[in-house]
Structure 1
Amino acid sequence: MSNIRQLDPSASPLDYYGYELRRRREAAGLTLAQLGSILFCTGSLIGQIETTLKVPTREFSERVDAALGTDGEFSRLVGLVLRSQLPSWFQPYAEMEAKAGYISTYQAQLVYGLLQTEGYARAVLGTRDEGDLDGKVAARLDRQRILDRDQPPVTWVVLSEAVLHQKVGGLEVMREQLTHILAMQKQRWLEIQVLPFEAGAHTGLMGSFNLLRFDSDPDIVYTEDFVQGHMTANPEAVKEGSVRYDHLQAAALSVDDSAALIARVMEERYGDQPDGRDLA
């Protein structure tokens, strides 16, 4: 027992989670293997989470709360843990995104993070091997929970047609991703348009950007470069972003025509897929 790694619970949300998991497990008189059998996982996985080598998921946390009778403690804590896995420069945006009542985004190269499948997110985040990829993927997918609320933000997405043709993660990943986008279009609070190549020069040529609107806070425009993100509530910047976005929406295909184009690209470029009539 003398070789057990000692944790500083104040070091990070992940360290606190691991510290509390070990403390609660030992208070219940359970070994790693015994708790693992209750949670239907290995004792090794629990040990890795306790020592911060693995990032816990929401499902794991819910099972821990049920097994140890912790009244939702780990289910609440895991949100902080997953948020901490996002890049430090991105965390302020993620916090504002979660508060927004209206999200508008133009994406020039990639599917917007809130719409990415696990396979697509893994391929995007895995282009550079920096730390725990599983944790980064889990953090990105956890952001999507805002779309599952009883009152989710109204979200409008304009995708460049290039996004559909950029093969990220292989054929199967792209089929799954485009199928997911078409399925998401059925949600009444989410609209997706495609800006076709035929649109020519347009107001989004400078790159991707997001607009966040709030009930009681100033609107925000957000952009990224390869180093970090840039978020501002400057009225002139927000006005310029809003005008550019209006032009992009006007130049993009209608929602129905966009769905038809997505289904066609999925069939022609990525092979077999579901019945296009149901999707479009």
Structure 2
Amino acid sequence: MDEDNRFIVFTGMQDVSVPGPTPVRVEVRRAGSDKVVAVVDRLDFYFDDGGTSELGDDYRWYQGDGRPLTLDEMGDYELDMYAKDRDGKELGRRNAGRFTYALDARIEAGSSRTEFSLDDLDTRVTGSVTAVHPRRNVRLPLAGANARARLGNGTADVVSDAQGRFATSVAALGNETRLGLSVELASGDTETPGEVPVRTKTQQAVLTLSTPGPLTARYGSSVVLRGTLGRLRPTARSSPWRAATCPSKRTRRAPGPHRSPQAPTAASRTHPRSSEPAPGT
């Protein structure tokens, strides 16, 4: 379904002069159930041959004719699509789509941790989701909704219980440039996400060069510098720093043969730098 809650069935990029499968109906099931609760069998054909849509040239699709879809209960529903090929044979695809049947969904969320570092990337997220019933016009707990917790670039999905509550663990990946914690509906598009304020704890980075010197290079050539990149842990019980392989660095030299100054010792080649925990230093 799109942002206007219309059923849209895409059949793929292809030459519109070549007949493709013709969708004949979409069956709606409650998520996780085999019982069909509604059937959409009036689909209008569209195609774009001029690149005016975001889908590109020669994209064909079928779209619901605008009749409202009325279901008994709020929650997540799965879609099975059926089509006919050129020979009239019916083809089916189970779980071709999923949507949340609810209005004005709102998520409240909390976290067991609000301060994160490269040593503390995970947390336990709990909360609840409510929504307005499309037919009864009352706000109720949204049961069976697929909620998605997001911490930086890490995500975790969880299904809300009968009271609309959820709980899941989620972890950042450690390569983020900024960190945020939120919960949204995985198959919704009109909800108000739950936001949790978080802080990041800085750590000191340590760069140690291992390439021996002195170095000589011609103009236009490249020199590969190797080393290790580590970080200082704040706790005394842990090792003073943890090394990670540093990507090769290439540098250009000035015109003509040039010789670098005498290479510093291993101790003097270690340069502490300030770092944020999120980028994954």
Per residue, is there more helix in 1 or in 2?
1
TM-score for both structures, normalised by structure 2: 0.26
Larger CA Rg, structure 1 vs 2:
2
Per residue, is there more strand in 1 or in 2?
2
TM-score for both structures, normalised by structure 1: 0.26
